[in-house]
Amino acid sequence: CRFSQMLHPIFEEASNVIKEEYPDKNQVVFARVDCDQHSDIAQRYRISKYPTLKLFRNGMMMKREYRGQRSVTAIADYIRQQKSNPIREVQDLEEINSLDRSRRNIVGYFEQKDSDNYRTFERVANILHDDCVFLSAFGAISKAERFSGDNVIYKPPGENAPDMVYLGSLTNFDLIYAWTQDKCVPLVREITFENGEELTEEGLPFLILFHMKDDLESLEKFQQEVARQLISEKGTINFLHADCDKFRHPLLHIQKTPADCPVIAIDSFRHMYVFPDFSDLSVPGKLKQFVLDLHSGKLHREFHHGPDPTDVAPGQPIQDLASSPPESSFQKLAPSEHRYTLLREKDEL
């Protein structure tokens, strides 16, 4: 791979720069894998584009890969940023009252920093700091919040949103990580130009609400129905919302414009399918059936051959559409053989 050959000396030089700053081998490790020789590793971590730069923390692969500039300076700066402390220590509990409540905040109250409880909290923060703001308080400052021992609290977005308390073991990494991830990574995420490729790499089709940026009512309704009808489908499809103005091109694929928003559609990375009517969103089971019809192949089948015979009223002829559904608009971003065949043209995304 020509691009891998071009990156190799840059990557090696960046490792030398970082080695001088962090001589302890346990601090930062640079490694490279020949995916022709070690296809099992590539398959395990779903590497299909080359070169790919992945970050691992404590043996766990981070979902966000490095997509910055391919230069010694940029890669070294990225590592320095990753080495910075992801937890802000508060010096007065009044700071908690002035938190930015548009963000997701995780606050840990500990008797002392040199403890197993805090070290576990720190590991979790290192992994999820892109998704949540992490804060901590110690000793006398945190005493008022430690009436039953060390404590971790989630403060969700919204001025009046109630806090949620972690009730599990603070030394059990798997438990506290799962709890924190559930709080920090929303069920319905926003897709943007910056994270579009990252989301496609998760390998799951998209269920997308296209809405105007200031139309928060439609977004809230969509979020509620996804939580009510589709929580069991988490892990089989990604629930997303997108700004209609910014994502005009996907709308054109399904013969819609921002004037038609809100619009719900599925992008399977092969084709796009439109939810018939947004007003049907709250009809019990309607949205879930739409997703189940994707998994069963019914959506694709009906675009080619018309409604299934079981869905046609007696005596009504079955229409043979002999046509294809609109092509995927995110297919360019989906994993392919070579990273540099992916063209990220913002005006055509």
pLDDT at position 345 is: 39
The yes-or-no verdict on residue 185 having pLDDT over 90 is no
Q: Is the pLDDT of residue 320 over 50?
A: no
Q: How many residues does the chain have?
A: 349
Residues 247-274, mean pLDDT to the nearest whole number: 91
Report the distance separating Cα 271 and Cα 248, nearest Å: 17
Reported as a single tens digit per residue, the pLDDT across 47-71 is 878 999 999 987 888 877 888 899 9
Q: Is the pLDDT of residue 167 over 80?
A: yes
Angle at 101 between CA 152 and CA 137, to 5 degrees: 35
Q: Which pLDDT belongs to residue 195?
A: 83
What does the mean pLDDT of the chain come to?
A: 86
Q: What is the pLDDT of residue 311?
A: 54
* Of 107, 127, 105, residue with least CA distance to 118: 107
Instruction: Please give the single-letter amino acid code of residue 58.
Output: N
Query: 151-155 and 105-110: which strand pairing?
Result: antiparallel
pLDDT of residue 310: 57
Partners of 207 in the β-ladder: 239, 266
Percent of the chain with pLDDT over 70: 88
Which of 26, 7, 131, 146 is closest to 70 using CA atoms? 7
The per-residue pLDDT for 342 is 36
- Coil, strand or helix at 348: helix
Which ranges in the chain belong to alpha helices (H)?
2-21, 39-44, 72-83, 94-97, 116-128, 139-142, 173-184, 196-200, 216-229, 248-253, 286-296, 298-305
Parallel/antiparallel/unpaired status of strands 238-243 and 188-190: parallel
Is the pLDDT assigned to residue 219 strictly greater than 80?
Answer: yes
Tell me if the bond preceding 9 is cis, omega within 30° of 0: no
Cβ-Cβ contacts under 8 Å for 140 (sequence gap 6 or more): none
Average pLDDT over residues 203-208: 91
Give the confidence band of 306 by pLDDT, cuts at 50, 70, 90. Answer: low
